[in-house]
Amino acid sequence: MKDLTGRSIYLRLAEIQDAEFIHSIRIDPRYNRHLSAVNGGVDSQEAWLREYKIREAADLEYYFIVCRRRDHMAIGTIRLYDFIGDRDSFGLGSWILTEDKTASAALESVSLAYCCGFQVLGFRACHLDVRKENTKVISFHKKFGVVATGDDAQNVYYSMTPTIFNKFAEKNKRFLTAY
């Protein structure tokens, strides 16, 4: 899969050598408040990435590093995983952006992930879950038009379709078009 490019950022597939960066942001208290706990060090992250690369090669998952276009600095991660059925739905998660992000990195990274899932991979829906206390991310996803599908004690579950995303993208294309 080729890089996915937005106005100020691009997504490239994660590689084994990204282990230190990924581990550093996953253990950073500024970014991990609403994430599952990390066990192990950089070696564990490298092992996880080796296993991930097998899933990537089998078209079962795509883990991206979010990079600034101006200097190629890694500023976050986002992942498409939990593929259901024959392109019925994909999960969206592992979304972290550092303080070095661009002003529109959040909007661009999620939009590029949706474009990848719907337009490149041909999925008919996306499912995602957000921790209930993560109110900023809930508000962010609602602006895209996600539909709540349920909840439990810890999470709210949402769904996105290509039709809903395309309406959002059309209204916001000035932020999403690469230059």
Whether residue 41 lies inside any domain: the answer is: yes
The DSSP bridge pattern shows strands 89-97 and 126-131 to be parallel
**Of 169 and 56, the one with more pLDDT:** 56
* pTM of the predicted structure, to 2 decimals: 0.93
Position 156 in a domain: yes
Residue 29 is assigned to a structural domain of this protein: yes
pLDDT in tens, 107-117: 999 999 999 99
Q: How many domains does the chain have?
A: 1
Residue 150 belongs to domain with CATH number: 3.40.630.30
Domain containing residue 136: 4-173
Per the domain annotation, does 179 fall within a domain? no
Q: What is the dihedral of CA 107, 110, 116, 121, to 10 degrees?
A: -140
Q: Is there a domain that residue 129 lies in?
A: yes
Per-residue pLDDT tens digits for 105-157? 999 999 999 999 999 999 999 999 999 988 988 999 898 899 999 999 999 99
Sign of the four-CA dihedral 162, 168, 170, 174: negative
